[in-house]
A and B are shown apart, each in its own frame.
Chain A
Amino acid sequence: GNSVTQMEGPVTLSEEAFLTINCTYTATGYPSLFWYVQYPGEGLQLLLKATKADDKGSNKGFEATYRKETTSFHLEKGSVQVSDSAVYFCASFMDTGRRALTFGSGTRLQVQP
């Protein structure tokens, strides 16, 4: 079946540091890939997405590239801010079979001033 694996958190960074959150997937086929962000007490917000190999999703300074050869979709940001503190979820979606999002377990990011 499909699965998504993320690096364990929490990830603690100082403001303006470089961020990488690793995400790998397994799927029978080529899923669409997503990063969602969840701020405290809120639901999930779509951060960025990529629908095919070598696509780069980007939003609010975050970016991730769909790497078919390494089955990865790592999230990066060049300079984090305190306001980026949240939980980040990597997710995959196959347009066949169950046709539902499969999420990783989430990575908590804490950015200190």
Chain B
Amino acid sequence: DAGVTQSPTHLIKTRGQQVTLRCSPKSGHDTVSWYQQALGQGPQFIFQYYEEEERQRGNFPDRFSGHQFPNYSSELNVNALLLGDSALYLCASSLESGYNEQFFGPGTRLTVL
């Protein structure tokens, strides 16, 4: 049973560029949440997707957007990258019925130069 997978593992971009990160949830899970983890900090909630819609959102600007596909996989898009967007981006999946128990992927390390 595959767990949560994310791609790519690492990514280097320059300021002003756009980036797309991808996540496949654990088999059977229908809800995907995205978190940003800056170096030395705890993860911060970005947003959550269920039934292909953004259901909850944290305190992140509109530059951060996402999408969920019919197979429950998800993308995180960040436009107009800033140096401060450099972080580990974590995807977590869960079942809507018990979605406080979240399973995390290994993350995508984004570096903005």
Contact = CB atoms under 8 A, between A and B. Distances in A.
B45 A101 contact: yes
Chain B interface residue number, banded: 20 to 34
> What's the dominant secondary structure at chain A's contact region?
strand
Contacts of A103: 42-44
Contact of A95 (B58, B100, B104): B100
Interface string A54-93: 0000000000000000000000000000000000010101
A27 interface: no
A100 B101 contact: no
Contacts of A91: 42
B7 interface: no
B42 A105 contact: yes
B48 interface: yes
B68 to A, nearest CB: 16
A32 B100 contact: yes
Chain A interface residue number, banded: 20 to 34
Given A103-B42, A106-B41, A43 B106 contact: yes
Interface in B14-56: 33, 35, 40-45, 48, 56
Given A102-B45, A105-B41, A44 B58 contact: no
Contacts of B103: 46
Nearest to B90: A43
B45 A100 contact: yes
Given A42-B106, A100-B48, A101-B92, 19 more contacts: A36-B104, A42-B107, A43-B104, A43-B106, A44-B104, A46-B101, A46-B103, A93-B100, A95-B100, A98-B56, A98-B58, A99-B99, A100-B33, A101-B35, A101-B43, A101-B100, A103-B44, A104-B42, A106-B40
Interface of A: 4, 32, 36, 42-46, 49, 89, 91, 93, 95, 98-106
